[in-house]
Amino acid sequence: VSQSRYWGIDMLFSLLEGQAFPKENYEVILCDKLHEIRKYAVKRWSLENNINVDHFKPKNISEYHKHSSILNECLERANGKYCIVIGDYTWAESDWLNWHYRYNEKGYCLSAPQNVYTLPKLKDNLIQPISTFNEYFDHDIHLIFQNIINILQY
């Protein structure tokens, strides 16, 4: 897990607490830019929930979040057979880790499906935001340009 924001880690922890997959069968590798601020809270959470957490600060700290570098650090520290990359502000059904495990055991790679929620309504003269997860993406390219035109005319 690559973490650099103050919030969202609570949602991640809630996801992990609710998993049906046996907690003793996985570890959480948490590379956290805010390690110094929350290292005791993460340790307490790890002990209270019986979830093994390797919590550390990134080697390469800058004002920018370097996701690829941090992900590589996590992969270097991982001990498991399989790896699942997730981020903060993530929620999943309680069987989510089981699904990943079963797919990997069969030799498949599972990319987690995402629910993309509708954004709040914009001003009346703007078209609704577009998501690349929408099945009508080709049509939506046109709407993106229409949105840009409407913004420029406003």
- 8 A C-beta contact, residue 51 and residue 23: yes
More confident residue, 111 or 23: 23
pLDDT value of position 135:
43
Q: How far apart are CA 57 and CA 80, in angstroms?
A: 20
The model's pLDDT over 59-118, given as tens digits with 9 standing for 90+, comes to: 877 665 567 788 888 889 988 888 888 877 777 888 888 888 888 887 766 665 555 555
DSSP designation for 135: T
- What is the C-alpha R_g of the chain? 19
What is the mean predicted confidence (pLDDT) over 26-51?
92
Helices (H), the chain: 9-17, 35-49, 67-77, 96-105, 137-153
What is the mean predicted confidence (pLDDT) over 125-144?
49
More confident residue, 127 or 11: 11
pLDDT value of position 22:
93
Is it the case that residue 20 has pLDDT exceeding 50? yes
The angle subtended at Cα 153 by Cα 151 and Cα 154, nearest 5°, is: 65
- 8 A C-beta contact, residue 110 and residue 104: yes
pTM: 0.66
Q: How far apart are CA 71 and CA 87, in angstroms?
A: 11
The angle subtended at Cα 72 by Cα 104 and Cα 69, nearest 5°, is: 140
